[in-house]
Structure 1
Amino acid sequence: MKENTLPEKRYYSIGELATYFQVNASLLRFWEKEFDILKPKKNAKGNRMFTPQDVKHLHTIFYLVKEKGYTLDGAKEYLKNSSKEPLTILEIIQKLQNIKQQLVQIKNNL
């Protein structure tokens, strides 16, 4: 998956997202059916138009299924049991950097 190459827009086509995630559009359509959190709007022609919120959800699904090796059922269970909005990769990195900074401060004070 390419980092930071998706421009900020109101809606993204399935082709744009397929290119961004480097997967087939059919996989995104399949995930739409499998995961209730994906709800792209459809235009008059019936083309799927994904919102930035859908893209966040796709990031989470992609991470769980493709990078962490979760099964679809496992990913669904993870999303269902997550009491709040799943963290994005960038949010996780920021949290880890904050923890590292705190640990370095503790080490320097010893």
Structure 2
Amino acid sequence: MHIDLPEKRYYKIGEVAKAFGLNTSHIRFWEKEFDILKPKKNNKGNRLFTPEDLKNLQLIYHLVKEKGFTLEGAKIKMKQQPKIVKGNHDIILRLESIKAELINIKKEIS
């Protein structure tokens, strides 16, 4: 899944939820369920997600929504083979960005 967010240091939960097509409560639930999600909180308690948090969210989204893993299954998969899962996900993200770029080039040519 390719998310379209501008380059920033921190993202608010509403921006993240909109980019992923999820509710903010869904993001908060995943934060409780997965240890790799650790957004910072400001003085008001608002969650601020870093680009690293977004990569972890993309990985969770990929396993749960695209591959059909249960939350428990996704946790087990990430604990058993963390480097393989992250490496494969990074490759998928790069291929998706290449595909998007090729589609843009095709549109410009047409």
State the TM-score bracket (shorter-chain normalisation).
Answer: 0.7 to 0.9
Q: Which residue of 2 aligns with 1:87?
A: 87
Alpha-carbon shift at residue 5 of structure 1 (Å): 1.4
Q: 1:70-81 alignment to 2 at 5 Å? A: 70-81=69-80
Q: Moved runs in structure 1, 4+ residues, more than 6 A?
A: none
TM-score by length of 2: 0.77
What is the CA deviation profile of residues 51-82 of structure 1, one whole-angstrom value per residue up to 9, with x for unaligned ones?
11110000000000011100000000011012
Over aligned residue pairs, what C-alpha RMSD do you find? 2.0
Q: Residue by residue, what CA displacement relative to the aligned partner does 1:27-62 show, whole Å, maximum 9, x if unpaired?
A: 000000000000000001100001111100000000
Report if aligned partners of 2:39, 2:49 keep a CA contact under 8 Å in 1: yes
TM-aligned CA distance change 1:88 to 1:59, over 3 Å: farther
Range that drifts further, 64-73 or 3-12: 3-12
Q: Calculate the TM-score normalised by the size of structure 1.
A: 0.77
Unaligned ranges ≥5, structure 2: 96-110
CA distance in 2, matches of 1:15, 1:9: 14
Larger radius of gyration: 1
Kept in 2, the 8 Å contact 1:59–1:88? The answer is no
Name the SS for the 2:30 alignment partner.
Answer: helix
Alpha-carbon spacing, 1:80–1:5, altered in 2? closer, same or farther (3 Å): same
Higher helix share: 2
The one of the two structures with greater contact order (alpha-carbon pairs below 8 A, sep at least 6) is 2
What SS is found at the alignment partner of 2:87? coil
Give the corresponding residue for 2:42: 43
SS in 1 for 2:52: helix
One-letter code aligned to 1:34: E
Q: How many residues align?
A: 94
CA contact (8 A) 1:41 1:49 kept: yes
- Identical aligned residues as a percent: 59
